[in-house]
Amino acid sequence: VIVVDEQCVRTDVLKEAKRFATPVVATSDKLCLGLRDRTNDACDEIVKDLTGGKEVGALILNPEKVGEVVTRVAMNLSGKREKDKKGPEREEIINEAARCTNCGWCSRHCPNGLPIGDAMKAASVENLEKIAELYELCNGCGRCENDCEREIKVFDLIAKAAQIELKEEKYVVRSGRGPIQDVEIRNVGPPIVLGEIPGVIAFVGCPNYASGYKEVAEMAEEFIKRNYLVAVSGCAAMHIARYKDEEGKTLYEKYPGNFDRGGLPNVGSCVANAHILGAAIKIPNIFARKNLRGNFEEIADYILNRVGAVAFAWGAISQKAYAIATGVNRWGIPVILGPHGSKYRRLFLGRGDKEKEWILNDRRTKRKVKGEPAPEHLVYCAESKEEAIVMAAKLCIRPNDTSRGRQIKLSHYVDLYKRNFGSLPDDLDLFVRTKSDIPITNKEEILEFLDEKGWKEREPPTEPSILDLGE
């Protein structure tokens, strides 16, 4: 039984479900799929109609009734629809693949440019390996099927070819935990604000990845190992669970779920990502006693200047994802999009080289002070995993970092940059305020670099802000 609410639902869900004799239950008046409203009908009647195939689905706007109907229909159908569950058989895949002319039209429309024609060619001579391999890189959008002039059911063939692996696929996902408690914020707030936890990195959102889900898990692990606090939600949280290391362990089995450095808490569903933002909002409330009511500007300013948080929406699909990203931006938190994010255009990109744009107000001394591009951008679309992790380490830098905090953050930024691009970051001088900010491991090399840049020490702000200096 397929149950749909109102988001992330393929528009052809009813058509596809019919092919496999799967009843569909719609539960929201925003997405009724043209189904008959059965909200006021007796459960027995609805169950009978769905089990017997009299109706393809039902609209039920009462959640309790949905629970009862869906469970009973699933139990009734269990075992009865074995024959309907099957996609094409091996022979059919081979025959269908042989109809492919390798015209390349599907690949041109595939968001990931997958080599479908080549895989079909191999499948037509009984080598199904290539077509099965496409499964991990495919996001199931169905554009290929829509655009094939020969009406080949490309996604069906891919899914069927990968079925052996899929059948055996088992993984452990950490269950969604809900909001972060005040007591947890009390533990991690000071090291986050002072910069000693190098950053809070959130992986949220949809699965429109350019190179499969593995990258999300790899990026998450990179930051966990470096003692960042990595929080996840939604599809990203589920996809992380599909990645296993050489010993067959998922990140959830390797790292703890607490909201602390080196932890990997899963806050829950897609929209539960609001709990991660909620944690950032609680920090100024708990530490700086900032009033939560009617105090948006001050709290956003606090987060922007003190809380080194960055979110990844690596596979953002919808306008909803983009709306969430810009909503998070309003609170002073940058978002990194994956390669497909370029469709949203680039927005809120800063210019680190324009010194005047980074002047800060020091609210304690009531003076204007020289600042730094921290964070330089609010929405950044990265073309590769490597570019993204380096950018995330940089975007975690905040004007309020203590020297110790800045040292830690810069050591990760420098290390990641060198590892991925082979040199010191060209803008490093912008983030070194005094010699005490310089990471010990690269001190000599960085001092030499700073000399070449004509770098001069500057005083770190005591209470950095972009709000007015006040009276």
How many residues form the binding site for ligand SF4 (CB under 6 A)?
26
Any contact of residue 103 with ligand SF4 (CB under 6 A)?
A: yes
Any contact of residue 102 with ligand SF4 (CB under 6 A)?
A: yes
Sheet with 367-369: list strands edge to edge: 367-369, 360-362, 464-465
Any contact of residue 162 with ligand SF4 (CB under 6 A)?
A: no
* Binding region for ligand SF4 (CB under 6 A) out of 113-121, 160-168, 176-184, 363-371: 113-121
Any contact of residue 243 with ligand SF4 (CB under 6 A)?
A: no
* Binding region for ligand SF4 (CB under 6 A) out of 59-67, 149-157, 231-239, 454-462: 149-157
Out of 22, 27, 51, 139, the only residue in the binding site for ligand SF4 (CB under 6 A) is 139
φ/ψ of residue 346, rounded to 5: -90, 135
Cα separation of 116 and 141, whole Å?
A: 14
Any contact of residue 142 with ligand SF4 (CB under 6 A)?
A: yes
Burial class (CB in 10 A: 0-12, 13-18, 19+), 61: middle
φ/ψ of residue 17, rounded to 5: -60, -35
For residue 224, give the nearest of 266, 166, 190 by alpha carbon: 266
Tokens for 256?
């703890």
Any contact of residue 111 with ligand SF4 (CB under 6 A)?
A: yes
**DSSP-assigned beta bridge partners for residue 379:** 335
Specify the pairing of strand 464-465 against strand 360-362.
antiparallel
Any contact of residue 130 with ligand SF4 (CB under 6 A)?
A: no
Out of 9, 105, 262, 327, the only residue in the binding site for ligand SF4 (CB under 6 A) is 105
Out of 10, 90, 150, 419, the only residue in the binding site for ligand SF4 (CB under 6 A) is 150
Out of 69, 93, 106, 230, the only residue in the binding site for ligand SF4 (CB under 6 A) is 106
* Binding region for ligand SF4 (CB under 6 A) out of 64-72, 152-160, 276-284, 289-297: 152-160
For residue 153, give the nearest of 105, 87, 81 by alpha carbon: 87
As measured in angstroms, the least distance from the Cβ of 415 to ligand SF4 is 35
Q: Residue 76 corresponds to which amino acid? A: N
As measured in angstroms, the least distance from the Cβ of 174 to ligand SF4 is 27
Q: How many CB atoms lie within 10 A of CB 384?
A: 14
Tokens for 468?
């007015």
Any contact of residue 144 with ligand SF4 (CB under 6 A)?
A: yes
Cα separation of 56 and 18, whole Å?
A: 7
Any contact of residue 95 with ligand SF4 (CB under 6 A)?
A: no
Any contact of residue 443 with ligand SF4 (CB under 6 A)?
A: no
For residue 259, give the nearest of 282, 239, 240, 241 by alpha carbon: 282
Q: Which is nearer to ligand SF4, 163 or 295 (CB)?
A: 163
**Rule CB under 6 A: which residues touch ligand SF4?**
100-106, 110-112, 114, 116-117, 120, 138-144, 148, 150, 152, 154-155
